[in-house]
Amino acid sequence: MRVFATSVLAALVSCALAAPLAPKLPDIPDPISPLISDGLQQVGDIIPAVGQEVQRCSKYQVVSARGTFEPQEGEEKSQDTVDGILAAVPGGKRYELIYPAGINYAIDPSVGAAGLVAHVNAQRARCPEQVFVLLGYSEGAMVVVQALNNEALPFDAISAVVLYGSPYWRSWNRESAGSATVGAGVAYYVLSTPRRYADKTQDYCMVLDAVCSGQPGLTHVLYEGSPEQAEAIAFAAAKLRETLGS
């Protein structure tokens, strides 16, 4: 618990200028997303891709990105979600993205995003029919959203996206989900899920999750075993069945 409380505190300190609440507004394009997408492409070009481990072909792969200071193997906040998806839809494998999940939020998520895009493309080169579920918790959600904004990520290869406690969360976006219904994440003004991924994405935020809702509270560490987790597993499984035709 102390490790994850540290993660919450670090995220809040790194985004001290965040707005605590945001009005319910229409889902509109983020004008800075294309600029950041271009920047991420450059990051992918100049930083060696992290975690480009090509695995054996499977029908699908669940790629998870851990939160700040979580262990590289056995991510505590994502394991049950991954296990639930794999149990619900046969033929899948897991891949825990290798990236430096530290408190340098200006660099670490970008490194992870470049590694995620490189991994998906390497897998697709070897396994053209393989599809992916992308899963990110906290800083890992930042990794996934940044990857979604990278044009090098093949859109058709992504079946579903599940985010927990994202600093980029916006209550007014179509993909927003969870018990929180108002507010925005501590870095909501930086980046957002591209609109074309909205139907493939569920972006979960719990009431009193200070990182994603801007409301003071400690629920950021409570997604494991939550109703949000059960809903996320069902959502990802349904999207996979739709993609795989099973």
Residue 38, pLDDT > 50, answer no
Rg, C-alpha atoms of the chain: 16
Segment 51-69, tens digit of pLDDT: 445 677 999 999 999 999 9
pLDDT at residue 157 in the model: 98
Domains observed in the chain? 2-21+37-244 (3.40.50.1820)
Q: Is the pLDDT of residue 232 over 60?
A: yes
- Using CA atoms, how far residue 231 sits from 157, 209, 234, in Å, is 22, 18, 5
Q: What is the signed CA dihedral for 45, 196, 33, 119, rounded to 10 degrees?
A: -20
Q: pTM (2 decimals)?
A: 0.80
pLDDT band at 13 (very low <50, low <70, confident <90, very high): very low
Give the integer Cα–Cα distance in Å for 29 and 106: 23
pLDDT tens digits along 139-192: 999 999 999 999 999 999 999 999 999 999 999 999 999 999 999 999 999 999
Three-state DSSP class for residue 206: coil
Q: What pLDDT is stored for residue 53 in this prediction? A: 56
Binned at pLDDT 50, 70 and 90, residue 77 comes out as: confident
Region 82-106: mean pLDDT is 96
Strands 176-177 and 158-164: unpaired
Q: Specify the pLDDT at position 171.
A: 98
Residues 118-139: tens digit of each pLDDT: 999 999 999 999 999 999 999 9
What was the pLDDT predicted at 54?
60
Q: How far is CA 217 from CA 44, 67, 137, 183, 246, in A?
A: 35, 18, 17, 13, 41
Q: Which helix (H) or strand (E) holds 5?
A: helix 2-14
